[in-house]
Chain A
């Protein structure tokens, strides 16, 4: 067809999404990769020499996990606040705990780099807020609101630390 029509927003978006495909490199890259790995110093030494590498990799994991944790969980039906039951931790609370552990691990590595003064007030505010939300979760363990706020606060905190790193 030689007809021309203007491309709609939705069409363009769909076409862009369609660009997402695997692409084979022109040659087999494995031999070169194996050679480079062979030339690396022993694992222990390289871990010390590349702190940034590990923190970036871990932060990448965490970011993936934070994004995924939210996508995987279907929001429970909204219900009025339930009284805190002093028994096994709720699903939300366990997720909040797991989020916190991963977040703290990633942050420990990122925070090994000193944060410039300009970022300090924002970072401190986020840390205080995260603590406040964790405290609130103890009183209301089933709160989706609190879990979402916690996730958003952690993500923002992490993003800020990385932004400071790259500044």
Chain B
């Protein structure tokens, strides 16, 4: 899927789809949880929504799809596990919609197969979201975040100092006040990264055929590495950049302000090496056939 549904529309659709058509079982459960307790949520199919609140409680609402074996909520104040259990080898289960309210700083790990994930307003130490074909939308201030979908789209808005995000064929957007380290990967999806002016120590981005557009700033002596096979690489950095920048491509076009592009004498291949400012940081752009372009703003 390459469209991102707006939230209210998504909820409306989900509710209207689930409520009358199938004999979905409503859910309403509450459990206590310490402010920094951990919540694990597992739902194969349907939707998982998480919202932060200021209670030391976890509240689970929504509806259980027809054919599901049961909803398991297990654990204690430290750690709660919420799992939608499916009978073995079932093909006839309907989607389950989970809406989970969690303490603001609760650690969160959510794993789905086709269920979409929607997380809003959380600020844990650790956030982990994984799906196979579900879309993932998340915003908040996790200190550390790890997000992956295989064929779903991923859209993250985080204030965070350590982010890892990847897709295979889905599109990936990572934006927010991003500092520290970020690592983003795709295979054939398109990738967009924007640190909203914040400086990163380490940034790495990779793709095979997807295009990558990154806009960030570099902390002193920071490192940036971007690689692709046929996807285009676009890197935007502030004019006060202090870094050694090198680029290499077999058959793609290279461009960087003021850089002289060297071409091989025989056959294809081109490269450049350019110093900006004091040359404190290190930046490397490498492709096979994609274009690579550095811009200063």
A interface residues (Cβ-Cβ under 8 A, vs B): 78, 80-84, 116, 118-119, 121-122, 124-126, 128-129, 132-133, 136, 139-140, 143, 145-146, 149, 153, 156, 160, 167
Question: Which residues of A sit under 8 angstroms from B195, Cβ to Cβ?
Answer: none
**Which B residues are closer than 8 A to A by beta carbons?**
113-114, 132-133, 150-151, 168-169, 187-188, 206, 208-209, 227, 229-230, 248-251, 262, 264, 266-271, 286-289
Which 4 A-B residue pairs are closest in the complex by CB-CB distance? A83-B267, A81-B269, A122-B150, A125-B169
Contact present for B188 and A129 (CB under 8 Å)? yes
A-B CB contact pairs (8 Å), 25 listed = A78-B248, A80-B270, A81-B248, A81-B264, A81-B267, A81-B270, A81-B271, A82-B269, A119-B132, A119-B150, A121-B133, A122-B132, A122-B151, A122-B168, A125-B168, A125-B187, A125-B188, A126-B187, A128-B188, A129-B209, A132-B209, A132-B229, A136-B229, A149-B208, A160-B168
Known pairs A84-B267, A122-B151, A125-B169; A145 contacts B288 (CB<8 A): yes
Q: List the B side residues contacting A122 at CB < 8 Å.
A: 132-133, 150-151, 168-169
Q: Residues of A contacting B168 with CB < 8 Å?
A: 122, 125-126, 156, 160
Which residue of chain B lies nearest to A139 when distances are taken between CB atoms in the complex?
B250
What A residues does B113 contact at CB under 8 A? 116, 118, 167
Contact, CB under 8 Å: A81 / B250: yes
Determine the distance from Cα of A129 to Cα of B264 in the docked complex, in whole angstroms: 27
Q: Identify B250's interface contact among A78, A143, A153, A160, CB under 8 A.
A: A143
Task: Contacts A122-B151, A136-B288 known; list 15 others, CB within 8 Å.
Answer: A80-B248, A81-B249, A83-B268, A116-B113, A118-B114, A118-B151, A119-B133, A119-B150, A121-B150, A122-B132, A132-B229, A136-B229, A139-B251, A139-B268, A143-B250
B residues in contact with A133, CB < 8 Å: 208, 229
- What's the count of A-B pairs with C-beta under 8 Å? 95
- Are the C-beta atoms of B250 and A140 separated by less than 8 Å? yes
CB of B227 within 8 A of CB of A132, answer: no
A149 pairs with B250, CB closer than 8 A: no
**B151:A125 contact, CB within 8 angstroms:** yes
**Min distance, Cβ B269 to any Cβ of chain A, angstroms:** 3
B115: shortest Cβ distance to chain A, in Å? 10
Contact of A149 among B114, B227, B264 (CB under 8 A): B227
Which A residues touch B269, using CB under 8 A?
Answer: 80-83, 140
Known contacts being A122-B151, A125-B188, A128-B188, is A149 close to B229, with CB within 8 Å?
Answer: yes
Q: How far is the CA of A118 from the CA of B151 in the complex (A)?
A: 8
Chain B: minimal CB distance from A98 (Å): 20
Given known contacts A83-B267, A133-B208, A146-B288, A153 and B187 CB-to-CB distance under 8 angstroms:
yes
Whole-angstrom distance between the alpha carbons of A60 and B250 in the complex? 34
Could you tell me the distance between the alpha carbons of A77 and B187 in the complex, rounded to whole angstroms? Answer: 26
B227: chain A residues at CB < 8 Å are 145, 149
Residues of the B chain whose Cβ atoms lie less than 8 Å from the Cβ of A136: 229-230, 250, 288-289
Q: A83-B264, A126-B187, A153-B208 are in contact. Are A121 and B151 (CB under 8 A)?
A: yes
